[in-house]
Structure formats: C-alpha cells, structure tokens
Structure 1
Amino acid sequence: MLAPVHAAQNPASAQAGRSTPSNGASIGSHDSVVNGVKLHYMKAGKGPAIILLHGYAETSHMWLPLIPLLAKNHTVIAPDLRGAGDSGKPETGYEKKAMANDIHALARSLGISHAQVVGHDIGLMVAYAYAAQYPTETDRVVLMDAFLPGVGDWTHVWLLHDLWHFHFYGETPLKLVDGRERIYFDHFWNDFAADRNHSISEADRAFYTKAYSQPGGMRAGFEYFKAFPQDAKDFEELSKTKLTMPMLVLSGEKAGGTFLVDQARLVATQVSGVIIKGSGHWLLEEAPTQVIPLLVDFLNQRPLTLGDSATANR
C-alpha cells in the first residue's frame, strides 16, 4: 500500500452545478493516494466523523446541500469513489469490499478511527461493506435507495427490472456510449425518478456527464455492475454476522419501496426504515425537504422527526 499523499485543490464550493448553502461552512477539496489509487474528496467541519458515499451517475458533488449542515458538529468527508469523478480509474478493484477498503484507508490516513457512514446507490453497497468489515469502527450507517447484492431475494429488486444496463460493459458498449454519455445517463436520471421533470437538475446533469466522460470514466462505471456477482458472494458471507450499530434506511416510494428495509433487517439488528413518499431513486434531489432533516437528525443522534410525507417502518 502506498503512503497517503494529500494535496489541497480548489474549494468544492466552486464546482459547477449545485451551489453550496452559505452558512459559514468551509469545504476543502483534496486528493489522497491510498491502496495505490488516488481518491479525491471534500472535507469540512470538525468533530466526530461522517463519511458520505455517492452512487452511480453522480459524484461527491451530490452531497453539497448536506455537507454544511453536518459540518456544524462533525468532520465530514465526501470522496469520489474509485473510478468516479476526480478519483483514479484503475483497471480493477471495483468489488464493493475493495472499494470499502479504499474508504477505510482514506479515513485512517486522515486520523479517523470511528465514523458514521452514509451511502446512496452504489455508495450504500460500499457503506455496508465498510460497516461489515469494520464494525467496531462504524458508529452508525445510512443506506439510501438501491439494494444489497446477495442478500435475501435480491434478484427481484425494482432496479433489476431494468436489467440490461447491469450487463452493459465491454468493448462494444464503450464504443456505443462514446460521445453519447449524456443520452446514456439521462435514462437513469429520467426513468429512475418519480417525475423526470423534478429529478437531477440540468446543471448537475452537465456536471456529472463531464465527470464520467473523462478518460476511463465510463469503463470504470461499468465495472461497478460487472462486480455484482462477486459482491453477492461477498455480501452473503458478510451478512452471516449481523451488524449491531443503529442503521437508517431511506427508500423512495416510487422506487425501491420497502425492499431495502427488508434486506437491512436481514443484515442488522437496529434498523429504522423510512419510505420517502412521492420520491423515486434520487432521494436527495427529488425530496430534499424530507430527506435532509432525517439525515441530520439521525447523524446528530436525535430522534427521527417524520413529516406528513414520510412514513416510518421500524
């Protein structure tokens, strides 16, 4: 393993697309080399650590509305996962256990020995793999709308109704999407939303398209899905030991519904599940007024306060 290398970059608040709420939080943008791969990450605040892990078709940029709110009381780390955004895009290492090891190595390089971990989509798989491999170092976990390969009846999850893209990798798919990345991603941003007109903003679509259009970006993204069979084997084994830290599961009413909540109860003992009414897969963008308060309350270890539009499933 290479020694960590940290280098400050331009402030994350200067990223195009979504603006950072102006509440005095300073968000730094950095690079670190761990496990032989460069990880780009944002960092803000002081206090107990929170790690935010993005999903496919997005980067750490998705967390900008949330970071300043959490940074009031915490050190917040939001990395671009291996293969995404401004992080390195190596040929291998896209199994979610390996990606979780990247994040753990990054945390340790920053002097973080305990953390709360939050993940959306692919990021939730990495978050679960992190907690399952390092349970004594993980204080709380949040899983946001997708699924856990290898757990329960996972092959019947809603997202797998659109099965073609999970097998869309290799030479021909890469040639088909070259120069047409926006067309490919619009499929996810539109069809996985409850309402395509209230999904990912146009500015953010342009931002993410540019990020994944970098050399190696599309190939790396396809590797997340190519690794699912191995992830299923890994998670089936990891799930034999149930997690005991508090876990919050957020799922879109118009997306995964209760599926991820049910899966979480197979792998953890303290699960609070909340179905976000009217929302599809893109929870933070489609339903920020429901989702952000739930995240802030849970991560600040306050009792969850449910509005009229969110339903608890404990």
Structure 2
Amino acid sequence: MSLLNQVVKHTGAVLLAAGALLSAAHAAPQPAVQDRSINANGIELHYLAAGTGDETPVVLLHGYAESSHMWLPLISQLDDRRVVLAPDLPGAGQSAIPESGFDKKTMAQDIHAMVQQLGYRKVKLVGHDIGLMVAYAYAAQYPDEVESITLMDAFLPGVGDWQKVWLLRDKWHFNFYGTTPLALVKGRERTYFEHFWNDFAADPSHSVPEADRRRYAANYARPGRMAAGFEYFHAFPQDADDFAKFAQTPLTMPMLVLAGEKASGNFLINQAQLVDTHVQGVIVKNSGHWLMEEAPEQTIAAIVEFINMPSAQ
C-alpha cells in the first residue's frame, strides 16, 4: 500500500471515529431529573425539573426537615406526560435564604413567580407539611391558575378549630426560634430532626431512610438554614390571619387530601372541606406523618391517579 493510501485510510478512520463520538454525544440522554435554579421574586430558587408533554405541569412542594429530594420517587411516576417541578422552599435545600417573607402567603408568591418565569400559567399543586400550606396559599391567591391541589398531612393554620390539631400536642418547636434555640441546636441538627422523623411516624424504624436523614441534617446544618426553618413556624400567627381570610372565599378546584392514619387522620380532611367545595379525602393506612417514606405505594398511587384525571373543561 502506498504511503498516500495509508494516510488517506488513517485519516478516514479518525474522522469516522470522531463522527461516531460526536453522534454518541448528541444521542446521550439528558438526566431524567435536572438541577436548575432561577431568580424569582428577588430570590434565587433551586428546583428539580423533569418530564415533557402537553399536560398541565405539576409543582411539588416539600415540608420541614426535608427538601425537594423527597419527591424523586413521585417525579418518576409523573414525568411521562408533563413537566414536573420540585422547588426547594425559600431558605431550604439549595434555595437562597430571604431576609423575611417566611409566611406562606409570601412563599407562595415566590413559587408563583418561578412558575410564571418558566412560562407556565396553569399548574397542579402537591404539598406536604409546610409545603401544603404554601400550596394552599398559592391556590387561594391564584385560583384561576390552579387546576387541582393535593394536601398531604399537616394542617391549615387559622382554619376551623386548628388549635386542636394533632401536632399541637407537641408544639414546643413552634416557639423554638431565636439566639438560644439556635445555639442549642448548632452541631446537633440530626438530634433535633430525629424528634420529627421518629415521633411523627407510625413506626420510627420505618420512617425517613438513614441516607436521607444524613442528607437533610447536613443540609440544614449549613449557615442560616436552621434559622430559616425556625421562621416557618414563627410565621404561623401571620399564616393563621391570612388563611382565615382566604377561607372566606372557598376554592372550587378538585382537592385531594392525604392524611396519615396515625397522624392528621380526619382533621386535615375536615379542614379542607372548609376551604374547598370539591374535596376527596384519603386516610393512608398504617402511616404517620411521613407519607412518602412510610407508605410510598399507597401515597404515590393516589397522587398519580388524581393528577392523571382529565381536567374539567
């Protein structure tokens, strides 16, 4: 073979290999769930994003002692026909810590600004714990932009006889904020959160998994995160005033309420019926507060069925 032919053959092989690598790179699938961030309403919000499709996007709002990470098992069951967004609430996860605005009305405005900037007008909302309060405040402020709402185990401050909610038998943490509580918890974040993960579960040995406990405790141990978390509770008096006003105009969109049999029980369902005219209540059997971790099969199946129902025209 001549030297020229060898050079041509080698060059062709290199180009073919390069082309194959380029094609493979273009064909490489994007991660099913992507980490993103956006500046909305003056605050940098981190969120998980997944899915494509024409159906109404779903926004998942986590609760206290957790982050958007809690939603991963549900995201994979919803992202086949729609966009799914799971933000870290202001002050939690990887979202920025605002100087103020930890009342749920303001937090809902932050999430709404995120949704609007991403180009979505209508959404379906799912919220657990503090997240359900943010979801309700979102729906109450923007009812024409919410096709459905799911509330998961906690309560609505200011609605009905809310002072008798089951969580209030152990409400010391509602007033646990300020310099001394922060000093007491510093370096002991895991110990503090064990109270919630264990005592609010039906069975402490079948609650939030160990790997997630390490993740959440480490995240909240970062500067300013515990103080921000305390402010979620500190804002309850303001939330109660806001929600009592919201409740004067009942919502009309479909509402699913999931309550742990060993936690909120019928209380949250009864509250929901005071604020919405179209409530479907489900008691999650043998579960405490941590529905996604304690009863994932029941919880995910109920949410997916509800979300996938055709929207009323």
- Number of corresponding residues: 281
State the 4+ residue runs in structure 1 displaced beyond 4 angstroms: none
Is residue 2:50 matched to residue 1:44?
Answer: yes
Is residue 2:268 matched to residue 1:266?
Answer: no
Counterpart for residue 12 of structure 1: none
Give the one of 225, 230, 234 matched to 2:238.
230
Is residue 2:73 matched to residue 1:73?
Answer: no
Give the one of 27, 33, 42 matched to 2:39.
33
- Correspondences of 1:252-291 after superposition (within 5 Å): 252-291=260-299
Give the one of 89, 95, 99 matched to 2:97.
89
Q: Which has the higher helix share?
A: 2
Unaligned runs of 5+ in 1: 1-23, 304-314
- State how far apart, in whole Å, the 2-side matches of 1:38 and 1:59 are: 15
Give the one of 216, 229, 235 matched to 1:221.
229
Counterpart for residue 177 of structure 2: 169
TM-score, normalising length: structure 2: 0.88
- State how far apart, in whole Å, the 2-side matches of 1:302 and 1:87 are: 33
RMSD: 1.4
What amino acid sits opposite 2:33 in the alignment? Answer: I
- Give the SS at the match of 1:39: strand
Is residue 2:203 matched to residue 1:195?
Answer: yes
- State how far apart, in whole Å, the 1-side matches of 2:259 and 2:310 are: 20
Counterpart for residue 168 of structure 2: 160
- State how far apart, in whole Å, the 1-side matches of 2:32 and 2:298 are: 25
Is residue 2:137 matched to residue 1:101?
Answer: no
Give the one of 155, 173, 183 matched to 1:147.
155
Give, in angstroms, the shift of residue 302 of structure 1: 6.5
- Correspondences of 1:131-146 after superposition (within 5 Å): 131-146=139-154
- State how far apart, in whole Å, the 2-side matches of 1:220 and 1:157 are: 23
- What are the Cα deviations for residues 97-140 of structure 1, in whole angstroms up to 9, with x where unaligned? 00000000000010010000000000000000000000000000
Give, in angstroms, the shift of residue 74 of structure 1: 1.1
Unaligned runs of 5+ in 2: 1-29
- Give the SS at the match of 2:73: coil
Question: Once the two structures are aligned, what percentage of the paired residues are identical?
Answer: 62
- From the superposition, tell whether residues 72 and 252 of structure 1 become closer, same or farther in structure 2 (CA, over 3 Å): same
Tell me, yes or no, if the aligned pair for 1:25 and 1:68 is still in contact at 8 Å: no
- State how far apart, in whole Å, the 1-side matches of 2:31 and 2:188 are: 37
Give, in angstroms, the shift of residue 68 of structure 1: 1.4
What amino acid sits opposite 2:262 in the alignment? Answer: K
